[in-house]
Amino acid sequence: DTGVSQDPRHKITKRGQNVTFRCDPISEHNRLYWYRQTLGQGPEFLTYFQNEAQLEKSRLLSDRFSAERPKGSFSTLEIQRTEQGDSAMYLCASSLSSGHNEQFFGPGTRLTVL
């Protein structure tokens, strides 16, 4: 399977705990995006990397959230001191930097904060 992969697929945690998610993009894609989707909404942009550089962060990304892409390949999204409002589907997508902006999504990580 050469698509975007995410791990874990599901995460249940208690309020106040830290969680980390991983995304492996399509191998030749140098752009990587994180989105969050809550019930009844479309995906909302969180942050975006081109290679290892984090180029844009949404105001949705509070200081409890941090994302990295250290070698320009996989990325991690960490949420510190989780809150119940963080419960959502976290989606990762990747694309090429040339041509048009078709982004290919992974299956997502479903986070439930109790």
Partner 1 sequence: DQQVKQNSPSLSVQEGRISILNCDYTNSMFDYFLWYKKYPAEGPTFLISISSIKDKNEDGRFTVFLNKSAKHLSLHIVPSQPGDSAVYFCAASVNRGSTLGRLYFGRGTQLTVWP
Instruction: Return the residue of 14, 59, 71, 100 that touches partner 1, per CB under 8 A.
Output: 100
Query: Does residue number 4 form part of the binding site for partner 1 (CB under 8 A)?
Result: yes
In the complex with partner 1, the residue whose CB is nearer, 82 or 103, is 103
In contact, 90 and 9? CB cutoff 8 Å? no
Total residues contacting partner 1 by CB under 8 A comes to: 28
State how far the Cα of 87 lies from the Cα of 97, in Å rounded to an integer.
31
What x-and-dash track marks residues 19-38 binding partner 1 by CB under 8 A? ------------x-x-x---
State which residue, 45 or 74, has the beta carbon closest to partner 1: 45
> Residue 86: what are its φ and ψ, rounded to 5°?
-80, -10
Cis peptide before 8 (omega within 30 of 0): yes
In this structure, the strands spanning 31-37 and 104-105 are unpaired
Least separation, in Å, of the C-beta of 88 and partner 1?
A: 13
CB 50 within 8 A of CB 114: no
Under the rule (CB under 8 A), what is the footprint of partner 1? 4, 6, 31, 33, 35, 40-45, 48, 50, 55-56, 58, 91, 93, 95, 100-108
